[in-house]
Amino acid sequence: MCIGQDPAQNEDIVRRILIGVAGHRAQGFLAKLGIDRSYVMLNAFLYSVYNQNSASNHINDPAIADYRNRWFSALIASGSVEAVVAFGSLANVAWRAFAKVVGAASTLPYQHVPHPTSPESAGGSLERIKAATTVMLQRWNTALEALRDALKHPDVDRPFVPYGADFQPGELVEIPAYDVPAGIPAWMRGTDGWAARTGATAGERRRTITIQAPTGIIP
């Protein structure tokens, strides 16, 4: 089970967490575990938090936490969840709060890793982003080694090839078509940039998402 933070505008449209660059990196992470299909993904927040700096103020709101915990409970009750990974700090807070009150959750193998696009989100120069990516991938390697030992039923038994200093092309795995709602065009499973919050004021941007198909898609 993978836990994310909150959906950005792309995820809000597709109705699937971890879309675009973040999604491709996360799928690659799962692939290194031998997991190609046997996963489930949940967010700490159901809807996008506009101005993410305020998200931490609401992570434990009773209504939000209760709804999220009902999903966690339903999933672990099946007995099929073998391990849990949280991508990002808010995802970590969400799971740890749940595990404190549900004993079965506290016994599951668990790893907290940086969010897939945290190096870019932190900003800074290109050199700083590259350095942050290297640090993130080192933490991912540590988590992968622990999770591989915990998983009993991977989809594929493949050798573990750890990440290097940066992502390699083969480590960016496309989001499967079966993992998004029917009718979603293939380019929405590709890179980011096709959806943006638009408007002259903060209020308008909160309620407006503009979608633009990439160049070359429309004949």
Which pLDDT score, from 0 to 100, does residue 142 have? 97
Q: Give the list of residues 6+ apart from residue 169 with CB closer than 8 angstroms, or none.
A: none
Which pLDDT score, from 0 to 100, does residue 155 have? 96
The answer on pLDDT for 76 being more than 90 is: yes
Which pLDDT score, from 0 to 100, does residue 104 have? 86
Mean pLDDT of the chain: 93
Q: Give the list of residues 6+ apart from residue 159 with CB closer than 8 angstroms, or none.
A: none
Query: What percent of the chain is predicted at pLDDT more than 70?
Result: 100
Say which range, 22-26, 46-50, 125-129, 182-186, has the weakest mean pLDDT: 46-50
How would you write the chain as a 3-class SS string? CEEECCCCHHHHHHCCCCCHHHHHHHHHHHHHCCCCCCCCEEECCCCCCCCHHHHHHCCCCHHHHHHHHHHHHHHHHCCCCCCEEEECHHHHHHHHHHHHHCHHHHCCCEEEECCCCHHHHCCCCHHHHHHHHHHHHHHHHHHHHHHHHHCCCCCCCCCCCCCCCCCCHHHCCCCCHHHCCCCCCHHHHCCCCCEEECCCCHHHHHHCEEECCCCCCCC
The answer on pLDDT for 53 being more than 80 is: no
What's the pLDDT tens digit per position in 132-171?
Answer: 999 999 999 999 999 998 999 999 999 999 999 999 999 9
pLDDT band at 103 (very low <50, low <70, confident <90, very high): confident
What Cα–Cα distance (Å) separates residue 195 from each residue in 8, 52, 202, 211, 214?
A: 9, 17, 17, 4, 10
Can you read off the two tokens belonging to residue 45? Answer: 């927040």
What's the pLDDT tens digit per position in 110-123?
Answer: 999 999 999 998 88
